[in-house]
Structure 1
Amino acid sequence: MSPAFRIALLVLLALFAGCTTPPPAAPAAPTVVLVSIDGLPAAVVGSGRMPTLDAIAATGTRADWLAPSYPTLTFPNHYTLATGLRPDRHGIVHNNMRDPVLGMFVSKEASARDGRWWGGEPIWNTLQRQGGIAATMFWPGSEVEIGGQRPRYWLPFDGKKPVEARVDQVLAWLDLPRERRPRLLTLYLEQYDVASHAAGMHSAQAMQALATIDAGLARLRAGLQARGLDRTTDLIVLSDHGMADVRGEDIRYLDDLVPDAALQAEYGGQVMGLRAAPGREAEVEAAVLGRHDHYACWRKGETPPGWHFGRNPRIPPIVCQADDGWRVWLHRWPKQPALKGEHGFAPEDPGMRAVFLATGPSFRPRTRLPAFDNVDVYPLLAHLLRIQPAANDGSLSPLLPALRETR
């Protein structure tokens, strides 16, 4: 090979190397919109009562049901969804509870906005700790400063704010300039839960609430599509627990077993947390522990293992659980209405099964998943947002068959 030819060949190779196309960049992480419909039973999906919800289920990913954590109450389960921790670990063990140091926690009062009650790391903090931005619309726990921070955008709960106004606020956050736009947005809708508690889960009020919520979902999807965001946004619709009707006469009184003066009940209904009056511990345990007609009671450390419940110091010494459709009560408490929708039953009861649906670029279409635990939602959110999750009790494994290759 002559020197001139060798030089020409080297020049051509250098030019060719300079024109080589670089490998394609990894696609940007999707935006995630997480919607909770408080109290929505898994059986509503496919019933025809919520056409938009049914369309998401038919075309996206649907789980047979989402298994709630114990107890099947709003604040414990919403914070489990946000942290991936069981209530026994994150500390929100009831909507209303007592702490030996902090005193009383009442879910709709100022005590619930004290960050010392809230353990673990919610997903909005996980995201923002790693450089992202979060926005929350009324999600339980999101208006509390936890670990020194709140979501970038949040609003104090206002039950009078209409569904369409809540949806419009979520869409307005998505209209922000890219550098200020959230990557995680949550939307909380409690209307069905409120109507069911008031008049029963099949009442006209509850059916109207379903229609209102479904119209809100349609408004949200139309807003995403109008902005061209449906191709880059993962939409997850779920619930915290299901619902069951309880008749006023389906009630059992614990003070029929032991005198009222011996009992210090912290809460009652579907779940009763109980302390014995000082010096009467043996009397109370002998009377109430074990199986009774339509309910059962345990020492806090001896509840069924599948509930993962009983270690937290905020749990009273005795836990009583009503059977599906019943309540445990005291005679001195207010009389209950003829019919009322309730939750708080054992998580394995079919009526407590919650909803999980998803659609978007990260999810395979028309995919049916077996039931999985709600602690698995947090690692899913971290995966979708491409962030490192904090320590949690969940696993991504049950969701893998529904996920496209995203990274």
Structure 2
Amino acid sequence: MPPRHLVALLFLLLAMVGCASLPEPASRHAVLLVSIDGLPADVPGSGRMPALDAIAREGTRAEWVNPSYPTLTFPNHYTLVTGLRPDHHGIVHNNMRDPALGRFVSKDASAHDGRWWGGEPIWATLQRQGGIAATMFWPGSEADIAGERPRHWQRFNGAVPVQARVQQVLAWLDLPPARRPRLVTLYLEQYDVAAHAAGMDSDRAMRALATLDAGLAQLRDGLRARGLGDNVDLIVLSDHGMADVRGEDVRYIDDLVPADAILPEYGGQLMGFAPRPGREREVEAAVLGRHDHFQCWRKGELPAGWHYGRNPRIPAIVCQADHGWRVWMRHWPAQAALKGEHGFAPEDPGMRAAFVAAGPSFRAGTQLPAFDNVDVYPLLAHLLGIAPAPNDGDLAPLRPALRDARR
């Protein structure tokens, strides 16, 4: 063989070896989970958020999603990504006490301590099985849980506008294949904040919806501009709904029992407290049962459908206000004349959460009956093609919306 042919053959062999050593291109299929905190179930399809309505038309939406009890932000966001009820994953309230760990405050450093967070969030499930996850402000994502932290994450900062959050999500999807996440979560609290401050249908709340909808439009346009429209399953949901509460619609627990007889943990739409040692009988005789606009139970005797009451972080007595009311202490600060609230019973229609999804895995133009929010985690695992961790959810209610419902 002539020398020049040997040289050509050597270059060909080297090229073949080089190509064989390159990693297979990473799949561009990803799952993007967006939470709009407090968004009521009746907003999708109402015309108030045109971009959200367009996503629903392209894919599926649920009549509503049943939130877990209590209908608060941290417990339900963590349920969405673990498939566990709050009683099981341990985030039983936004603010709570643990016999060993002390006090948990959702907006404090305690929320960054992985010892509070039970179960396995979907980003840990994915990364344990070789994938990459990114989280933008999702509750729980700032802690090391189950030995994992999202590969890409940011510490919560409410001053970061919606537009910048969306830009960061798109930037993560622009990363090279070896660093690109297959799961991205995005948390948006603007409607919840506005509704709490001024009422769920206030001008401020409506402006927040418009801002959020513009962010969803920006997100869809960004996916399409990158050629990802057919490669990303986009899910937009909420953790719970919202209801208006008037300042005068309040009942005081210390009208029933002396304030010095109890150790309150929290109040509002639900109130939790323990009797002071030695005063258990006095407190129980005064507060257990039905009252004007609220009801109280021992923690182990709450309604069975709430799946709540066994975790040691739940106070000995829990009181639940009726729709539009709160349970309070007289020496606590007065509340605003009108404000949006959640935390009511999960069967309260006002607490129904929203669910919209579109992408290559979802059938267009479908509507799902109501399902429980624990079912979102097995859906995420299914879309990512990974084995789910033990959970309380069930994929079956969502199968009719999937293109391949047999899987």
Which category of TM-score, normalised to the shorter sequence, fits these structures? over 0.9
Other structure's SS at 2:327 match: strand
- Deviations 1:233-287 (Å, cap 9, x if unpaired)? 1000000000000000000001101111111110000010111111110000001
Task: Tell whether 2:285 aligns with 1:322.
Answer: no
1:24 is aligned to none
Other structure's SS at 1:202 match: coil
Which residue type is aligned with residue 126 of structure 2?
L
Measured in 1, the distance between the counterparts of 2:291 and 2:245 equals 18
Contact between 1:29 and 1:384, CA under 8 Å: does it hold in 2? no
1:287 is aligned to 286
The Cα shift of 1:94 comes to 0.2
1:346 is aligned to 345
**5 Å matches for 1:239-388?**
239-388=238-387
Measured in 2, the distance between the counterparts of 1:35 and 1:159 equals 16
Task: Tell whether 2:225 aligns with 1:226.
Answer: yes
Q: Once the two structures are aligned, what percentage of the paired residues are identical? A: 77
Measured in 2, the distance between the counterparts of 1:170 and 1:132 equals 17
5+ residue gaps, structure 2, are: 1-25
Measured in 2, the distance between the counterparts of 1:368 and 1:135 equals 29
The Cα shift of 1:56 comes to 1.4
Measured in 2, the distance between the counterparts of 1:346 and 1:59 equals 32
Other structure's SS at 1:159 match: coil
Task: Tell whether 2:154 aligns with 1:155.
Answer: yes
Contact between 1:29 and 1:386, CA under 8 Å: does it hold in 2? no
Task: Tell whether 2:152 aligns with 1:186.
Answer: no
The Cα shift of 1:45 comes to 1.5
The Cα shift of 1:388 comes to 0.2
Contact between 1:135 and 1:154, CA under 8 Å: does it hold in 2? yes
Q: CA RMSD in A?
A: 1.1
The Cα shift of 1:179 comes to 1.3
TM-score relative to the length of structure 2? 0.92
Which residue type is aligned with residue 157 of structure 1?
F
Which residue type is aligned with residue 305 of structure 1?
A
1:143 is aligned to 142
- Deviations 1:115-174 (Å, cap 9, x if unpaired)? 100000000000000000000000000011112220000000000000000000000000
Which residue type is aligned with residue 227 of structure 1?
R
Contact between 1:60 and 1:364, CA under 8 Å: does it hold in 2? yes
Which residue type is aligned with residue 133 of structure 2?
A
Q: Paired residues, what number?
A: 381
**5 Å matches for 1:45-84?**
45-84=44-83
Which residue type is aligned with residue 192 of structure 2?
D
Other structure's SS at 1:132 match: coil
Contact between 1:195 and 1:205, CA under 8 Å: does it hold in 2? yes
1:108 is aligned to 107
Other structure's SS at 1:187 match: strand
Other structure's SS at 1:258 match: coil
Measured in 2, the distance between the counterparts of 1:30 and 1:347 equals 34
Measured in 2, the distance between the counterparts of 1:202 and 1:102 equals 39
Other structure's SS at 1:143 match: coil
1:12 is aligned to none
Runs of 4+ in 1 over 6 A off after TM superposition: none
The Cα shift of 1:30 comes to 2.7
